[in-house]
Amino acid sequence: MSLNSFFQYFVPKDKKVFFPLFEQAASNVVAMATVLVEAVNSKSSTTRQELFKQIDKLENKGDELTHQIYLELGKNFITPFDREDIHALATAIDDVADYIQGSANRMLLYNIEDYTEPICKLSDLILQGSNDLEKAVRELKDLKNVRNIADSCIRINSVENQADYVFDRAVADLFLYEKDALKLIKYKEILAALETATDMCEDAANVMESILVKNA
Amino acid sequence: MSLNSFFQYFVPKDKKVFFPLFEQAASNVVAMATVLVEAVNSKSSTTRQELFKQIDKLENKGDELTHQIYLELGKNFITPFDREDIHALATAIDDVADYIQGSANRMLLYNIEDYTEPICKLSDLILQGSNDLEKAVRELKDLKNVRNIADSCIRINSVENQADYVFDRAVADLFLYEKDALKLIKYKEILAALETATDMCEDAANVMESILVKNA
Amino acid sequence: MSLNSFFQYFVPKDKKVFFPLFEQAASNVVAMATVLVEAVNSKSSTTRQELFKQIDKLENKGDELTHQIYLELGKNFITPFDREDIHALATAIDDVADYIQGSANRMLLYNIEDYTEPICKLSDLILQGSNDLEKAVRELKDLKNVRNIADSCIRINSVENQADYVFDRAVADLFLYEKDALKLIKYKEILAALETATDMCEDAANVMESILVKNA
Write out pLDDT tens, residues C190-216. Answer: 999 999 999 999 999 988 988 887 776
Average pLDDT, chain C: 89
Distance from CA of C170 to the nearest CA of A (A): 10
pLDDT of residue C11: 42
Whether the CB of A151 is below 8 Å from some CB of chain B: the reply is no
pLDDT, mean over chain A = 89
Could you tell me if A17 lies within 8 Å of chain C, comparing CB atoms?
Answer: no
Q: How do residues A133-167 score in pLDDT, each as one tens digit? A: 999 999 998 788 888 999 999 999 999 999 999 99
How confident is the model over C46-96, as pLDDT tens digits? 999 999 999 999 999 999 999 899 888 877 777 888 877 898 899 999 999
The residue among B84, B66, B69, B67 whose CA lies nearest residue B4 is B84
Residues present in chain B in total:
216
How much of chain C, in percent, has pLDDT values that exceed 90? Answer: 73
pLDDT of A214 > 80? The answer is: no
Residues in chain C within 8 Å Cβ distance of B169: 109
- pLDDT at res. A74: 74
Does the distance separating the beta carbons of C1 and A73 come in below 8 Å?
no
* B172/C110 CB distance under 8 A: yes
* Cα gap C215→A135, rounded to integer Å: 32
pLDDT reported for residue C82: 81
**Chain B / chain C CB contacts < 8 angstroms:** 50
* Min Cα–Cα distance to chain C from A113, Å: 14
Q: What's the confidence (pLDDT) of residue A14?
A: 58
This model of the complex carries an ipTM of: 0.71
Q: Is C84 at the interface with chain B, CB within 8 A?
A: yes
- CB-based contact, A109 to chain C, within 8 Å: yes
pLDDT of residue B106: 93
Per-residue pLDDT of chain B (216 residues; tens, 9 = 90+): 444 444 444 444 556 789 999 999 999 999 999 999 999 999 999 999 999 999 999 999 999 999 899 888 877 777 888 877 898 899 999 999 999 999 999 999 998 989 999 999 999 999 999 999 999 999 998 788 888 999 999 999 999 999 999 999 999 999 999 999 999 999 999 999 999 999 999 999 988 988 887 776
CB-based contact C168 A91, cutoff 8 Å: no
Q: Between chains, do C87 and B184 touch, taking CB under 8 Å as contact?
A: no
Q: Pick the range with the lowest mean pLDDT from B127-136, B202-211, C24-33, C101-110.
A: B202-211
Contact C84 B213 (CB under 8 A): yes
pLDDT at C78: 78
The answer to whether residue C145 neighbours chain A at the CB level (below 8 Å) is no
Cα distance from A61 to chain B (closest Cα, Å)? 31
- Give all domains of chain B, ordered by start, each with its CATH number: 14-214 (1.20.58.220)
Residue A19 predicted with pLDDT over 60:
yes
pLDDT at A170: 96
Chain B residues near residue C109 by CB distance under 8 angstroms: 168-169, 171-172, 175
